[in-house]
């Protein structure tokens, strides 16, 4: 089918393929740029709720890669895995999977960057490559471009995808992606082959090129033959520079989290033994109070969102939380805007916090107890006591909260029927 506009009408939720959201990039696709397609291998409704994708999208569209042979402007577009009915439509009409902004087939991009948040996304990566008509195995892609990269919390164990991904980035994407793209830009300008490009990428801190490290048997397991023993995770030291444009892209239709996300901190100061996110996003860093307030006021104005969330792994540990809660009400008074907090530990709940939230929208209180007994919470190093849980419930009830939700995990090591 030659007419892409006509093809859109055959898809489920065709509006999400238009690429015409408020604050989306308005650039023409040009071979003279370094063209990047950010792929979230899930449906639009899930992918557009992911803060990391939005952050990288705006970051890359501001970047210019300067190398010895010249400069290339970076142009970033987005792509998501269609829903099951639409996957079949792409196959039936023999239309290769394309980007949202300019409807460019994925194989015409220089870099394809996958965001991997769960091992359940791994097979979706293969589905995306297949729909795009791109060979699944890295060894079968002889040309240097498109370079297939992947990052996100699930690349902490990249080996299941080692045959399909050219390069993995371990750590904060804001610090890794610019270096990766500078190297890709140099290869595009100089006409380097794929092997040369991979060798150059391998020299960059926190990048892992699996093709250069074949697996060897170590005891009962196979592991990559890394000369240094490990790939070092790269971390953004100053969270202040990570704040995106206030004009963040606004999703079309219903998405999982249809709101402005304000990342007030990254990482977590606690040491729960079960938490992958705490380890991957460590060390704990937080954004200045002034920057968070500015992002709230400007972000709401530039997007029209009716709600925002203070996003972090442990909101109560943000050192300026009380000051922030004092400043928020005057900013959103008489606007109808509501806000929410995530991941509050029982010991951080206070009358001031609950009363401030109640001024705008009384939703629910979530308490992450994780285990039913103090013994098992001690095993997993969950710093929450029975007394703190009951105090939090009592405080919520006295502040007229009607809905309380508790999180528990089943099947923890040493768990008994008593737990």
pLDDT, tens digit (0-9, with 9 covering 90-100), for 51-94: 999 999 999 998 876 565 567 889 999 999 999 999 999 999 99
CA 8, 11, 17, 20 torsion-angle sign = positive
How high is the pLDDT of residue 64? Answer: 75
**How does pLDDT run across 274-329, given as a tens digit for each residue?**
888 888 999 999 999 999 999 999 999 999 999 898 889 888 889 999 899 889 88
In this prediction, residue 326 carries a pLDDT of 87
Query: In this predicted model, which residue has the larger pLDDT, 142 or 66?
Result: 142
pLDDT of residue 366: 80
* Bridge partner list, 74: 34
User: Which pLDDT belongs to residue 67?
Assistant: 60
Does residue 333 carry a pLDDT above 90? no
Stated as kind and residue range, the H or E segment containing 70 is strand 70-80
DSSP helix/strand/coil, 77: strand
Tell me, what's the pLDDT at 69? Answer: 59
Average pLDDT of 218-235?
Answer: 85
What pLDDT score was predicted for residue 347?
79
Q: Find the distance separating the first CA and the last CA of the chain, reported in whole Å.
A: 60
Q: How confident is the model over 3-30, as a mean pLDDT?
A: 92
Q: Is the pLDDT of residue 253 over 90?
A: no
Q: Output the CA–CA distances (angstroms, integers) from residue 205 to 100, 169, 231, in the order listed.
A: 31, 9, 8
What is the percentage of the chain residues whose pLDDT exceeds 90? 64
pLDDT at 135: 97
Residue 2: its pLDDT value, please? 60
Per-residue pLDDT at 244 exceeds 70: no
Query: What is the Cα–Cα distance from 287 to 319, expressed in whole angstroms?
Result: 10
Instruction: Give the integer Cα–Cα distance in Å for 167 and 212.
Output: 10
What integer pLDDT is reported at residue 334 of this predicted model?
78
**Among the ranges given (127-136, 138-147, 271-280, 326-335), the one the predictor scored with the smallest mean pLDDT:** 326-335
Burial class of residue 240 in the structure, from the number of CB atoms within 10 Å of its CB (0-12 exposed, 13-18 middle, 19+ buried): middle
What pLDDT is attached to residue 361?
A: 63
CA-nearest of 115, 212, 125, 128 to 154 is 115
Q: Determine contact, residues 45/255, Cβ cutoff 8 Å.
A: yes
Range of weakest confidence among 29-33, 77-81, 109-113, 367-371: 367-371
Asked if the model's pLDDT at residue 1 lies above 60, the reply is no
The model's confidence at residue 168, banded by pLDDT at 50, 70 and 90, is very high
Is residue 200 very low, low, confident or very high in pLDDT (cuts 50, 70, 90)?
Answer: very high
Whether residue 241 has pLDDT greater than 70 = no
Do 72 and 185 form a contact (C-beta atoms < 8 A)?
A: yes
Helix orientation angle between 173-190 and 194-202, rounded to the nearest 10 degrees: 150
Helices (H), 4-98: 4-8, 44-47, 51-60, 84-92
* pLDDT score recorded for residue 279: 87
Residue 187 has pLDDT above 60, yes or no: yes
Q: What is the pTM of this model?
A: 0.92
Neighbouring CB atoms inside 10 A of 305's CB total: 18
């Amino acid at each position: 089918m030659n007419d892409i506009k006509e093809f859109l009408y055959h898809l489920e939720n065709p509006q999400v393929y238009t690429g015409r959201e408020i604050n989306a990039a308005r650039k023409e696709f040009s071979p003279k740029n370094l063209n990047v397609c950010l792929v979230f291998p899930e449906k639009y409704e899930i992918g557009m709720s992911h803060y990391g994708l939005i952050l990288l999208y705006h970051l890359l569209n501001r970047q210019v890669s300067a190398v010895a042979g010249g400069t290339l402007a970076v142009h970033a577009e987005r792509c998501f895995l269609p829903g099951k009915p639409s996957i079949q439509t792409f196959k039936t009409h023999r239309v290769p999977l394309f980007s949202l902004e300019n409807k460019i087939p994925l194989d015409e991009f220089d870099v394809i960057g996958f965001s991997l948040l769960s091992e359940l996304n791994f097979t979706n990566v293969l589905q995306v490559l297949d729909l795009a008509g791109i060979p699944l195995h890295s060894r079968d892609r002889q040309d240097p471009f498109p370079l297939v990269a992947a990052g996100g919390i699930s690349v902490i164990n990249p080996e299941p995808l080692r045959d399909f991904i050219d390069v993995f980035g371990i750590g904060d994407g804001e610090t890794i992606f610019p270096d990766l793209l500078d190297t890709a830009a140099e290869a595009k300008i100089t006409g380097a082959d794929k092997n040369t490009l991979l060798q150059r990428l391998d020299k960059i801190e926190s990048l892992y090129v699996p093709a250069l490290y074949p697996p060897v048997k170590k005891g009962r397991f196979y592991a990559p033959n890394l000369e240094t023993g490990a790939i070092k995770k790269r971390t953004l030291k100053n969270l202040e520079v990570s704040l995106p444009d206030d004009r963040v892209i606004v999703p079309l239709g219903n998405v999982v989290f249809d709101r402005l996300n304000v990342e007030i901190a990254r990482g977590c100061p606690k040491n729960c033994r079960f938490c992958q996110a705490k380890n991957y996003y460590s060390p704990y860093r937080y954004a200045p109070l002034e920057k968070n307030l500015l992002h709230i006021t400007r972000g709401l104005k530039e997007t029209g969102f009716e709600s925002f969330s203070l996003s972090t792994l442990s909101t109560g540990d943000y050192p300026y939380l009380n000051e922030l809660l004092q400043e928020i009400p005057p900013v959103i008074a008489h606007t109808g805007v509501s806000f929410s907090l995530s991941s509050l530990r029982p010991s951080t709940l206070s009358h001031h916090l609950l009363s401030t939230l109640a001024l705008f929208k009384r939703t629910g209180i979530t308490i992450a107890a994780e285990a039913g007994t103090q013994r098992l919470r001690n095993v997993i190093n969950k710093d929450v006591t029975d007394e703190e849980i009951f105090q939090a419930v009592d405080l919520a009830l006295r502040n007229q909260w009607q809905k309380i939700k508790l999180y528990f995990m089943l099947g923890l090591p040493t768990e008994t029927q008593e737990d």
